[in-house]
């Protein structure tokens, strides 16, 4: 029987929600330069560099195992500073029958913001691991983006 699950993780960063969300929306391809040991390439298939609803991205990354994945952006919510992706092709779908991720950036009342990463997945079989490594990598990217934005 398929196992459906959710993994949630969050981290606080110094940058404003506007800056962090703006980076994800407008500069996603820079992540391959910022994390070359983990992300080998990010190609936005059609539509320029900005992430919008319907944007398709081709990822090559290595979080211990080399993978190629194609994701489709399901929604970009400017007001709530969130975006959702559905993995539609690639190596992850050998382990998970379905895999969706949501990024949410929330202004922190003490300054800075909170970056939340939510992964909804269905394991392809009972032996498949929970995707905790992907959630932790999402937080690592948020901290790296924050450090990059605070260097300027």
Hey, what are 85's tokens? Answer: 């992706």
Residue with tokens 């382990």: 95
The radius of gyration of the chain from alpha carbons, rounded to an integer in Å, stands at 15
Which residues, 6+ apart, have CB-to-CB distance to 98 below 8 Å?
Answer: 86, 87, 120, 121, 122
The pair of three-digit structure tokens given for residue 81, joined into one six-digit string: 């500073």
Q: What is the pLDDT of residues 3-45, one digit of tens each?
A: 899 999 999 999 999 999 999 999 998 999 999 999 999 999 8
Sign of the Cα torsion 46, 50, 55, 60 reads positive
CA-to-CA dists, residue 15 to 49, 79, 110, angstroms: 22, 17, 11
Structural domains in the chain plus CATH codes: 4-151 (3.30.530.20)
pLDDT digits (tens, 9 = 90+) for 47-69: 667 899 999 999 999 988 999 99
d(CA 2, CA 15): 39
């Amino acid at each position: 029987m398929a196992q459906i699950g959710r993994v949630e993780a969050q981290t606080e960063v110094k940058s404003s929600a506007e800056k962090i969300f703006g980076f994800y929306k407008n500069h996603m391809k820079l992540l391959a330069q910022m994390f070359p040991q983990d992300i080998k390439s990010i190609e936005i298939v059609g539509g320029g560099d900005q992430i919008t609803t319907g944007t398709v991205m081709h990822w090559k990354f290595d979080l211990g195992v080399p993978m190629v994945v194609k994701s489709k952006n399901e929604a970009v919510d400017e007001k709530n500073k969130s975006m959702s992706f559905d993995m539609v092709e690639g190596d992850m779908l050998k382990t998970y029958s379905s895999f969706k991720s949501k990024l949410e950036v929330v202004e922190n009342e003490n300054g800075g913001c909170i970056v939340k990463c939510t992964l909804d997945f269905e394991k392809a079989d009972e032996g498949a691991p929970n995707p905790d490594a992907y959630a932790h990598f999402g937080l690592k990217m948020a901290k790296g983006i924050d450090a990059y934005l605070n260097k300027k």
